[in-house]
Structure 1
Amino acid sequence: MAATTETVSLPYVQAPETSESLDWADLVTLDLAKFDQPGGKQELAEEFSRSIEEVGFFYLKNHGLSKEDIDTQFAIGKSVLSLTDEEKLPFRAALEAGDYNGWKPAGTRDLIPGVKDNFEIYNIPKFIPEHANRPHPEIVKEYIETIERFSKHIHEQIVKKLLVIFSIALGLDDEEWFLKKHRYEKTSGDHLRYMKYYKRTEEENEKLGGVWLKGHSDMGSLTLLFRQPVAALQVLAKDGTWKWVRPQTDAITVNIADALQFLTNGYLKSSIHRVVAPPKDQAHIDRLGVLYMVRIEDDTELLPIEESPVLRERGLLGQETLSSDGRPVTAGEWVKQRIIKNLANTSTDKGDNEETEVEIFKGVKVKYYD
């Protein structure tokens, strides 16, 4: 197959939203413009505390990134994932070793016998010396400074503010408690992600029951999803039903992930979500996404935060999650083993909403939902 050179086409044009009536999740929107106002951090912490009582998903507005900033990343992502497999192959992620950086091809695992996954990914790790010599396709190298500015803005102007809000919500005296465990210069799995779900045939959707990626939690601290107008993301609500997550104009969708659940013994819920076939008026569209995955430092022991009066009042201390050898799981171990297990994990014959427990690391398990 001859290699082709893809270029970035701007302005990027998003697909139109669905006109179908869907059962949308009712999610809280946090306004980061409040953060530097008198009492603003405390107000945001209260709003955040209310939002996590439901599903661990929320929206974030006034994040400091323009539509042009975000659309440029979609355009770069489209170009990267439009390269031929031959061009992307030298940058394939070492998935079998638990490394997700680089290219993950579509079809790496069976969802059910005869039907493989339909999404591919290109992950760009954070810009620190240990990743300085990582190779990338030419299109990424051409725009690497733009990508770096975008990624660092997310960490400095969005993630750090959220981490302070979380510390306040947990009643911690040290507002920088979470910041000190998410230092940009330290080793962790933070990365910017370009992700594409390819459209499926009606026959494939029927075989899968319309579920493209079964219910799961994310493995880090937070996932930030930039506006995705093709409806396909669903979250498992408190009442056990699946709700659609509506794309919000000028807002980022954020969900809590595993590390924060471990650190708070479930007070911060690692939200269960899945990807399903889009509505009929969007079924013909490949679903391109831009995400940022926030991960706590690799050497962090995932134990409940003893200093939190909020956890103490709720009886959430003294219930540590330990591996079968009696020691705490570290964040780096958890992420690595979840990546490896994901390669082998397939759907079960259980019905919709039913749980499947999968052992990830030395007796510590995670739940999946069909």
Structure 2
Amino acid sequence: MAQRLVPVISMQDFDRRKEEITQQLIDAAENAGFFTLVDHGISKEEIDAQFAISKAFFNLPSEIKAKTPHDTTTNNGWEYKAQLRPSTGTYDQKESLWLQRHSYWPSNEDVPNFREQTTDFMEKCATISDQVFSCIAAALGFPQDYFRIANDPNQPDCLTQLRLIHYPASENAVGTWRAGSHTDIGCLTLLFQRDGEDGLEICPGRESHSSFAGGDIFTPLSAETGPIVVNIGDMLMAWSDDRLKSNFHRVRAKEVGKSPSRYSIAYFNQGRRDFVLQGPLKKYPPTTVAEYFAQAVSRNFSRQAIASS
């Protein structure tokens, strides 16, 4: 199977070009499941600053990072090599900090200005997500603000999270998985990468939930600071009656030599717990976002796994 290109979509002059942008987004969401946004309104300097504060946290001693412990009931907090992938049978080789607006945060004493800056970054991610969601809602026949309301991070039942991720450098990881093949459970993921910190690979199709695309061809996607890699999640695929595609992806170590540190930032739009999920064609019975999450975690992860990807 040939490698699949990831469409690049400019968000410049969004209000004026919304119809054109909608057509591009839906074509990418239907046929690739991935697309890259440019001219989206978050400057390279702002992204660099968020990576800098993320790196400052991960550079702390483990006992300081552990002051923001991972809570398995909310999936918030710092975790280290704790996510077991059924696709590999091993733990992902990374550490991460999961955050929600109302979760427990690292203190400003440990990382100055952490919460203020990161909250501002999350708000910018929400604005971009709302633009994409308004296009998707219109294409599916929902009111324009439908998915914005369904994913409103200001609501107390919203499951949306920001995840700061660090893949530590490794001398002996040649050809292995820093993050095993998986799809994202939620609606829409915004992924930020840094120049030169490659490793992300995407699957050109999604034939089976259970195969983890193990026999398919994955396409490397070069890391670049600035563009946002966006992918459709399982929940939005179901919400669109399978019109939009949630595709597999993974992070691979270098084929030769040492794999350097890799940092990434993911903003997961994951819906509001009590919001009822059902597509316009009613292909699947109605279910709440919370019920969908519980079923997806049971289906895709072992008991030891973190309840989101």
- Give the TM-score normalised by the residue count of structure 1: 0.71
Shift of 1:247: 2.8
Q: Once the two structures are superposed, what CA deviation does each residue of 1:79-102 show, in whole Å capped at 9, x if it has no partner?
A: 11121221122312112x3x2211
Which residues of structure 1 form unaligned runs of 5+? 1-22, 307-316, 322-327, 347-359, 361-367
Aligned partner (choices 240, 247, 250) of residue 274 of structure 1: 250
Paired residues of 1:188 and 1:332 also in contact (CA < 8 A): no
Give the residue type in structure 2 aligned to 1:261: M
CA distance in 2, matches of 1:238, 1:278: 23
Give the residue type in structure 2 aligned to 1:262: A
Paired residues of 2:4 and 2:32 also in contact (CA < 8 A): no
Aligned partner (choices 235, 248, 273) of residue 298 of structure 1: 273
**Partner-residue secondary structure (3-state), 2:146:** coil
- The answer to whether 1:183 aligns with 2:183 is no
Q: Structure 1 residues 247, 25: closer, same or farther in 2, change over 3 A?
A: farther
Paired residues of 2:170 and 2:260 also in contact (CA < 8 A): no
CA distance in 1, matches of 2:248, 2:84: 20
Aligned partner (choices 178, 190, 195) of residue 165 of structure 2: 195
1:151 alignment counterpart: 122
Count of equivalent residues: 293
2:293 alignment counterpart: 335
- Give the TM-score normalised by the residue count of structure 2: 0.84
Give the residue type in structure 2 aligned to 1:335: F
2:61 alignment counterpart: 84
Give the residue type in structure 2 aligned to 1:61: V
1:48 alignment counterpart: 25
CA distance in 2, matches of 1:254, 1:68: 20
**Partner-residue secondary structure (3-state), 2:31:** coil
Shift of 1:319: 2.4
CA distance in 2, matches of 1:122, 1:336: 21
- The answer to whether 1:30 aligns with 2:6 is no
Give the residue type in structure 1 aligned to 2:205: K
Give the residue type in structure 2 aligned to 1:101: N
Give the residue type in structure 2 aligned to 1:342: F
Give the residue type in structure 1 aligned to 2:55: K
Q: CA RMSD in A?
A: 2.9
1:344 alignment counterpart: 303
CA distance in 2, matches of 1:290, 1:90: 21
**Partner-residue secondary structure (3-state), 1:196:** strand
Paired residues of 1:29 and 1:61 also in contact (CA < 8 A): yes
CA distance in 2, matches of 1:337, 1:102: 23
Aligned partner (choices 171, 186, 201) of residue 234 of structure 1: 201
- The answer to whether 1:119 aligns with 2:94 is yes
Q: Once the two structures are superposed, what CA deviation does each residue of 1:341-367 show, in whole Å capped at 9, x if it has no partner?
A: 635368xxxxxxxxxxxxx9xxxxxxx
Q: Percent identity?
A: 26
Which structure is larger by alpha-carbon Rg, 1 or 2? 1
Paired residues of 1:164 and 1:178 also in contact (CA < 8 A): yes
Shift of 1:47: 0.8
Identify which of structures 1 and 2 has the higher relative contact order when contacts are C-alpha pairs closer than 8 Å and 6+ apart.
Answer: 2
1:105 alignment counterpart: 80
Q: Structure 1 residues 220, 279: closer, same or farther in 2, change over 3 A?
A: same
Which residues of structure 2 form unaligned runs of 5+? 207-215
Give the residue type in structure 2 aligned to 1:83: L
Q: Structure 1 residues 94, 211: closer, same or farther in 2, change over 3 A?
A: same
Shift of 1:142: 2.9
Aligned partner (choices 279, 283, 293) of residue 319 of structure 1: 283
